[in-house]
Structure formats: structure tokens, C-alpha cells
Amino acid sequence: MRSRALSRGTAPTAVAEPEGLRVPSAFRHDALPYAGHAEFVSLAADFFGTGLDLGEAGLLLTRPERLDDVRAALGSAAEGVRFLDMDSAGHNPALIFSILDEFARAHPGRRVRALGEPIYDGRTPAQRAEAELHELLLNTGTCRSWNMWLACPYDTEWLDERGQAQMRLAHPADGRDLENVAAAKFADPLPPRPDGAETFPIDGADLGAIRSVLRTAARMSGLSDERAEAFVCAVNEVVTNSIRHGRGPAEFALWSVGDSLVCEVHDSGRIRDPFAGRVAPALGDTSGRGLWLVNHLCDLVQVRGPSSGTCVRMHIGR
């Protein structure tokens, strides 16, 4: 028999699975508190080991320094687990949902396990805010079709009081739907732009002139030609969408934060779906591709739909 500490609510709960007993088909979303690297490796290996004994495929999405040690702890059984580097695959937290969705859909009729660590030391405040929104969205009806047990590790050696409260909020003891909570967070405005941000009107603007401004800003920020063009393409997509579908005045703003260039597009239209850009568009879909593309071109994308309109904030670093 294997057991691990998985938390739903305020305290870890011991969950034991007798050998050969399959967990009922359903989506389950738990917190997995741990203290330090060694305990993470032990809990992860135990979690996946039990699942593999039950014929359940596994997905591990965490920081690169964890991957090799968990793989070694599993030994030959590691062949049944997919290992992904969170710093690469999930640097933009908006991408994590589609990774989980694709993994669940890749195993029709089969129970799967996933362990994903979206919140950890080293995330910027903006990344952490998006990871917190991602965690809330995992408690909505959109995920209920997944035949998956998802555990989200939280390092208690690093986690502050705010993080502990967020962990409890996003993993309710009763497993209730948090659609209203997620919608409220999606409707909260982003932190204000810095005072030094340059703003430009979009209404009637020449897209060629906007791209020229972006390329100049990208060069001044030290972006490579490839990353500069990716950023120009992303912003152009959002600006074009704003011109086509936005209402009233619109503008974009540029500023730098650390080694990143940031562009924000704001208009009076409303995006009400917090999953916009997070779900891969189906083959043949003519809509929904814009933000999906933007999420893959940028290091971080923040989308909010407050009452004042839609705000899309894109980050790309050197």
C-alpha cells in the first residue's frame, strides 16, 4: 500500500489506495504540500508509482531540477510518465491548461494522473498572479470531463501566508465549483501601468506605424531579431482584434520591467471568457486562434475583462 499527503482544504489528508483498487473516474484537484526537494521527490514518486500500478499514465510538470530525481526514483517505471519542464513549457501559466487538457484527451477511457507545480519561488509577481488564476480555473466545469487526478505541489519552506491562503482557496475541501471566484479574479483590473509608460492611440492608427514603433522599442530593449518579430506579431494580432471587435477608444502602451518589454492593449470591448486563449482551437475553427497564438509567442500574457473594457498585457524578455 502506498500513501501520500494530499490536501483539500486547510490541512493535508492521508489518502491510501489499496493495490488493485482503481480510483473512481472523475476529475480530482488536490494540493500537495511538501517541505523541500527531497520530500517533493518522494511524494511525486509515490504518487506516480501508485498510479502506474493501476495502469494510469502520468504527467509531471515542474521545475527542471526536480525532473531527473523523480525519474531516477521511479526507475524503469518512469517510462509511463511524461516529464515536462515548467520553466519552459509553463513559463506562461496560460499554457498549462492546454497541456493538461491535451494529456487527458490523449488517453480516452483511461484514468490519468498529473502533478503540476505552477506556483513556486522564482516566479515574478505577474507570473504568480496568472498561476493563481490558472489554479482557480481548474475548479470550474470546463475541467469536469477530464478523467484525471491532478495534484499541485506547494513548497511550505517558501510559501508565504498569502500563498497558503491561495492554496486553500484553489483546492476547496468540498471540491466545489469556483467558477464565480475565477470570474471575479478575471474581472479584477491588472496593476496600473508605471508612470513612465508610453501610450499611443489605436483608433484609426496605421498598423504599419504601430509595428515600426514596436520594432524600435524591441531593438532598444535588446531583443534578438527573432524575439522582436515574435513580439511584433503578437501585439499586431491583439491590436488588429481590437480594431475589428473593440468599441470606443483604444490604445496601446509600452514600458520595460527588468529585462522584459511589456505592451498593453486596452479597449472598451469585453472578453468575458477567462479561458480565451487557453484552449487549443479545434481544427477548422475560424475564431479563437488569436489569443492562442499570442500566448505561444510571448513569455507571459495577462488578459482581464473588467467593467472598463478588455486589457491584454504581453511580456517578452531578452
Q: Where do the domains of the chain lie?
A: 2-187, 198-317
Q: Which residue has the higher pLDDT, 84 or 6?
A: 84
Q: How many other C-beta atoms lie within 10 A of the C-beta of residue 127?
A: 21
Alpha carbon distance 118, 93 (integer Å)? 7
Considering only CA atoms, give the Rg of the chain: 21
- Residues 198-317: name the CATH superfamily: Histidine kinase-like ATPase, C-terminal domain (3.30.565.10)
Model confidence, pTM: 0.89
Q: Cell 509515490 belongs to which residue? A: 46
Percent of the chain with pLDDT over 70: 90
**Residue 244: what pLDDT?**
81
**Residue 206: what pLDDT?**
80
| pLDDT tens track for 162-181 | 999 999 999 998 888 999 99
Fold of 2-187: Rossmann fold (3.40.50)
For residue 283, name the pLDDT band (cuts at 50, 70, 90): confident
Helices (H) and strands (E) in the chain, counts: 10, 12
204 pLDDT higher than 70: no
Residues 6+ apart with CB under 8 A from 317: 258, 259, 260, 261, 299
**Residue 286: what pLDDT?**
66
2 pLDDT higher than 50: no
20 pLDDT higher than 50: no
**Residue 203: what pLDDT?**
73
Beta bridge partners of 102: none
Which H/E stretch holds residue 85? Answer: strand 81-85
**Residue 10: what pLDDT?**
37
Beta bridge partners of 303: 312
Q: What is the mean pLDDT of the chain?
A: 89
The reply to whether domains 2-187 and 198-317 share a CATH topology is no
Q: Which residue has the higher pLDDT, 72 or 284?
A: 72
Helix axes 225-245, 207-220, angle to 10 degrees: 150
Alpha carbon distance 256, 249 (integer Å)? 24
**What single-letter DSSP state applies at residue 150?**
E
Whether the Cβ atoms of residue 234 and residue 293 lie closer than 8 Å to each other: yes
Q: Which residue has the higher pLDDT, 23 or 195?
A: 195
Q: How many other C-beta atoms lie within 10 A of the C-beta of residue 108?
A: 7
Which H/E stretch holds residue 266? Answer: strand 260-267
Strands 81-85 and 12-17: unpaired
Among 25-29, 171-175, 205-209, 280-284, the least confident range: 280-284
DSSP-assigned states of every residue in 107-136:
STTS-EEEEE----TT--HHHHHHHHHHHH
Helix axes 161-170, 125-137, angle to 10 degrees: 20
Alpha carbon distance 242, 83 (integer Å)? 38
For residue 202, name the pLDDT band (cuts at 50, 70, 90): confident
